[in-house]
A and B are shown apart, each in its own frame.
Chain A
């Protein structure tokens, strides 16, 4: 009974706090709250963020692709080495 009362109190306080939160606090960063959606600065920020978010994925795909490519090349060159048993001095 006491536990239920505590939970109800916490939920009640949380509901009051959520209801009273202002729009300013709900913004992710200072820029999002201060510029409009059509502002050039906001668009610049958005494109910049999009670019920087995309870069790790681009890197991951590039490096992953290169490793897979080298893995297949490695398999083939291994077969060639066995066949010819030669190695360039340079």
Chain B
């Protein structure tokens, strides 16, 4: 029986699907940022008096960890030997985990200083924006870990099969500097 092969397309379905998903995610965060801008620009004094300031320097260092994870995942994709690539992938996952742990510690400290969701738009917008990003990083971490695990123990799996989770990682890494600039520096 003759089976006709599927013609090669410009972009494969998994990547296209991921691209559309990321587009939806961008719009989701655009909505949150839009709400943040209303509170931020509409408020006379920001941060409101008597409320804790955000840890700009610690988060800047933490940003470097996340950006470094974007660099290591890029390096992993350029490796020829599977073991080298997995090494860089592990470094990526560790950097992502470090980012999340530091974020968690920061949140704990801010809560100790009285920054909670209930205090008003300042606390609410901070926790919603940064919290949703943190959840996305956590999701990306689980997904990428599963893909690395599968790649490490499968001889037939190709690196390009893990492209969607890599694209998602790039998304969470690329989004963070924008959020950091808006929430911590602006």
Contacts and interface: CB of A to CB of B under 8 A. Distances in A.
Q: Do A and B bind each other?
A: yes
A47 to B, nearest CB: 6
Contacts of A51: 30, 33-34, 37
B80 A40 contact: no
Interface of B: 8, 10-11, 19, 23, 26-27, 30-31, 33-35, 37-44, 79-82, 85, 158-159
Nearest to B31: A52
B27 A55 contact: yes
Interface of B: prevailing SS:
helix
Given A55-B27, A90-B158, A44 B11 contact: no
B26 A44 contact: no
Interface in A7-54: 40-41, 43-45, 47-49, 51-52
Contacts, number: 61
A89 interface: yes
B10 A70 contact: yes
A89 B82 contact: yes
Interface in A69-90: 70-71, 74, 78, 88-90
B34 A52 contact: yes
Nearest to A74: B10
B11 A48 contact: no
Going nearest first, the 9 A-B pairs with the smallest beta carbon separation are A44-B41, A44-B42, A55-B30, A41-B42, A48-B34, A48-B37, A90-B82, A52-B34, A44-B38
A11 to B, nearest CB: 42
19 contacts: A40-B41, A40-B44, A41-B38, A44-B37, A47-B41, A48-B34, A52-B34, A67-B11, A70-B10, A71-B11, A74-B10, A88-B80, A88-B159, A89-B82, A89-B158, A90-B79, A90-B80, A90-B85, A90-B158
B28 to A, nearest CB: 10
Nearest to A54: B30
Interface of A: prevailing SS:
helix
Nearest to B24: A59
Interface residues of A, number: 23
Contacts of B10: 67, 70-71, 74
Given A41-B42, A70-B11, 18 more contacts: A40-B44, A44-B38, A44-B40, A44-B42, A45-B42, A48-B35, A48-B37, A51-B37, A55-B27, A55-B30, A56-B27, A59-B23, A59-B26, A67-B11, A71-B10, A74-B10, A88-B159, A90-B79
